[in-house]
Amino acid sequence: MLKSQVAALLDEMASLLEVQSDNPFQPRAFRSAARSLEGLAGDLEEVIAAGELRSISGIGESIAREIVEMAATGTSQRLVELRAAVPRGILDLLRIPGLGSKKVRVLALELGVDSLDALKLACESGSVAKLKGFGEKTQAKILEGIAYIGSVSGRFRLDDALPHAMLLIEHLQRSHRVQRVELAGSLRRGKETVKDVDIVASSSEPDAVADHFVRAPGVITVVAKGETKTSVRLANGLASDLRVVSDAEWPAALQYFTGSKEHNTELRGIARDLDWKLNEYGLFRGDEPLPLKDEASIYEALGLRYIEPELREGLGEIALAREGSLPDLLTQPELRGVVHVHTDWSDGAASLEAMVEAARARGYSYLGVTDHSQSAFYARGLTPDRVRAQRAEIDRLNSGLSDFRIFHGIESDIRPDGALDYEPAVLDIFEFVIASVHSSFQLPVEAMTERLIRAMKDPHTTFLGHPTGRLLLQRDGYLVDMDRVLRAAGELGVAVEINASPYRLDMDWRLGARARELGVRTGIHPDAHSPEGLDDVAYGVRCARKAGFGATHVVNALDAAEFAKFCARRRTGS
């Protein structure tokens, strides 16, 4: 099993223990072990084989035994017992924002609530408000939370889907019976959340391929096994559908199952206008299938340029493909620097030097360090003195680096009134500023919009950080008029980041076309809090491509000298 899969099981154990008893120590130990596993370099199986599990900080003897059992069997005796002891629906209650294990225990003991449905009824009858420590306001918030969970239920963030999907693909690629195999569906289209993992393979022995598929790492249940489609479920609840077709049919099947439905409907219309027929089996003139080499040959036959999967949402891309004016999309190797990175100067896990090393190891030529600003006390935000000390440290490190440069930035809180979080003399120290909202989310839309625009008007501001503050599948962003924000960004020359954390992917790709039209640039920012966090850039690249951004729109695709110029430009008025 993957480290992330075992970590998910450890987290589940922690949650089960939390709702079962009020002893916080055991659950905390499981959570900390889960975080250690996620941060582990290398393969879990190798670490276990080398007997090195115990040497990882945060993993004691009993948890190490648990991990070994999970890695080998996909579960553990203890987990099975805990799952049996706690009603299935109780863990769902923990997904409601503001509802911790303590409150969940009260709800279970006092009202017998053991599922989201039961809790909804209890709220609607008003009995939750009467519980000690709850009240009308909490009850209303809980109802809101239940509605939100209902609206996103069954979807997965990319960090819960993509690594598992890649393992399935690699597993299929290892079979010599598989001729071609590719991800399809929303995951291939680069959507920010997905319902499941769609895969399309070609083979002349579909039965054998299906048998091989169900033995893939992480598969715990075979939901269905039919002639062309096999459905499985993975440990974290994620479902995957594999379709196996003949190699001649594969291009059409891949195109069809990549979607989106809207894109496909439009494409079928074009085929019909030519008196042809397009479906998941092929492109037909009468009953005669046109030979198709690959997906591109479908588009070519229909008189279109090839449309990258990320753009297939039925939002005008087909018209652009006909005119030959599709945007050139960013590729990850075009990124020269990595920007928006936290270190242990604020709430990051690693030292500045470790983050520099990690950036260099990934082939970047500069690093934009942005710890938190002074108001972010919960994240150990930097006081002005610490800002100066950090600058001295960065200067010292830079003088020892020849082919790499550290830029000293800050992720400045935007105060409720729209001011940045230091006085101008301190802001002058930084080479660039990412301005972000981390507090007072509840402002009316007008006030929030003015707040962001005022922050962008400060000539120190280089980037607007995670512009809506959304947390995918957890909470919507605050209310803000993004069109006005983008217009202001375009006029002021402030770039709007794509926060590449799979929890955020904010700005949303749907704003891409408008941003480009307004001349707004972006940056693909991992918001990394550890060396591994730098790899979140890959999620941001998917989002940027989906937004239609190419390298020319992306500030960290500039080289270090050009990046320095971009950052200096607003302050010097050039």
- Beta-carbon count within 10 A of 218 CB: 21
DSSP tag of 521: -
* Nearer Cβ to Ca ion (233/484): 233
* Binds ligand DGT (CB under 6 A): choice among 92, 198, 497, 506: 198
> 57: buried, middle or exposed (CB in 10 Å: 19+, 13-18, 0-12)?
exposed
Would you count residue 530 as binding Zn ion (CB under 5 A)?
no
Which residues here bind Ca ion, judged by CB under 5 A? 185-186, 196, 198
* Binds ligand DGT (CB under 6 A): choice among 11, 12, 192, 196: 196
Question: Helix 3-20 and helix 77-85: axis angle, to 10°?
Answer: 40
Say which entry of Ca ion, Zn ion, ligand DGT, none residue 261 contacts (CB below 5 to 8 A, set by partner kind): ligand DGT
* Binds ligand DGT (CB under 6 A): choice among 39, 185, 282, 477: 185
Backbone angles phi, psi at 21, to 5 degrees: -145, 165
Would you count residue 310 as binding ligand DGT (CB under 6 A)?
no
Q: Is 36 left (phi over 0), alpha (psi -120 to 50) or beta?
A: alpha
Helix (H) or strand (E) run with residue 5 in it: helix 3-20
CB 87 within 8 A of CB 11: no
Would you count residue 260 as binding ligand DGT (CB under 6 A)?
yes
Count of residues that bind ligand DGT according to CB under 6 A: 14
Nearest approach in angstroms of CB 509 to ligand DGT is 14
Would you count residue 370 as binding Zn ion (CB under 5 A)?
no
Q: CB under 6 A: which stretch of 85-93, 194-202, 229-237, 364-372 binds ligand DGT?
A: 194-202
Backbone angles phi, psi at 6, to 5 degrees: -65, -40
Three-state secondary-structure class, residue 15: helix
Would you count residue 186 as binding ligand DGT (CB under 6 A)?
yes
Count of residues that bind Zn ion according to CB under 5 A: 1
Q: CB under 6 A: which stretch of 145-153, 260-268, 329-337, 454-462 binds ligand DGT?
A: 260-268
* Nearer Cβ to Ca ion (185/490): 185
* Binds ligand DGT (CB under 6 A): choice among 102, 229, 261, 510: 261
In the structure encoding, which two tokens stand for residue 94, read together? 């923990």
CB 115 within 8 A of CB 87: yes
Nearest approach in angstroms of CB 567 to Zn ion is 18
* Binds ligand DGT (CB under 6 A): choice among 218, 259, 309, 348: 259
Would you count residue 436 as binding Zn ion (CB under 5 A)?
yes
Would you count residue 264 as binding ligand DGT (CB under 6 A)?
yes
* Nearer Cβ to ligand DGT (478/503): 503
Question: Which residues contact residue 565 at a Cβ distance below 8 angstroms, ignoring those fewer than 6 apart?
Answer: none
Nearest approach in angstroms of CB 188 to Ca ion is 9
Say which entry of Zn ion, ligand DGT, Ca ion, none residue 436 contacts (CB below 5 to 8 A, set by partner kind): Zn ion
* Nearer Cβ to ligand DGT (200/367): 200
Say which entry of ligand DGT, Zn ion, Ca ion, none residue 260 contacts (CB below 5 to 8 A, set by partner kind): ligand DGT
The three-state DSSP-derived secondary structure of 287-347 is CEECCCCCHHHHHHHCCCCCCCHHHCCCCCHHHHHHHCCCCCCCCHHHCCEEEEECCCCCC
Tokens 């709007």, located at residue: 496
DSSP tag of 21: -
* Nearer Cβ to Ca ion (185/337): 185
- Give one DSSP letter per residue of 394-407, joined into a string: HHHHHHT-SS-EEE
Per DSSP, the chain holds a count of helices (H) and strands (E) of: 24, 18
Nearest approach in angstroms of CB 155 to ligand DGT is 7
Would you count residue 477 as binding ligand DGT (CB under 6 A)?
no
Nearest approach in angstroms of CB 287 to Zn ion is 58
| Dist. CA 478–CA 514, nearest whole Å | 20
Q: Give the binding site for Zn ion (CB under 5 A).
A: 436
Q: Give the binding site for ligand DGT (CB under 6 A).
A: 185-186, 191, 194-196, 198, 256-257, 259-261, 264-265
